[in-house]
Amino acid sequence: MGTPELIKCLEESDYKVTRDVDYWIDSILGCFITEFSIDTFVPYSEAECRIFKDPRGKYLKSLKTWIKMLLCEKGVIPSN
């Protein structure tokens, strides 16, 4: 399975481990956004937009997919 197909499959998968990854990363991103919002004195939604426009924010946003791909490579998540 090629990378685009694998990414789509992993994004649509509904295994406990993938839900755990989603929850864990969403919680961490929420903390980053909250801290940035407090530091810059802007509302949460504006802080979220600012973070994800930055290249580092785009990397953080893709972290879920990277972790899921690694877990799939290690055999923790089935690839089909």
pLDDT in tens, 12-32: 888 898 899 999 999 999 999
pLDDT in tens, 19-70: 999 999 999 999 999 999 999 999 999 999 998 898 888 888 889 889 988 9
Q: Is residue 77 part of a domain?
A: no
Q: What percent of the chain has pLDDT over 90?
A: 40
Q: Is residue 5 part of a domain?
A: no
Q: Is residue 76 part of a domain?
A: no
Instruction: Please provide residue 74's backbone torsions phi and psi, each rounded to the nearest 5 degrees.
Output: -85, -5
Q: Is residue 6 part of a domain?
A: no
The range of the structural domain enclosing residue 24 comes to: 15-71
Domain count, the chain: 1
Counts of helices then strands in the chain (DSSP H, E): 5, 0
Q: Is residue 29 part of a domain?
A: yes
Q: Is residue 45 part of a domain?
A: yes
Q: Is residue 57 part of a domain?
A: yes
- The pTM is what? 0.77
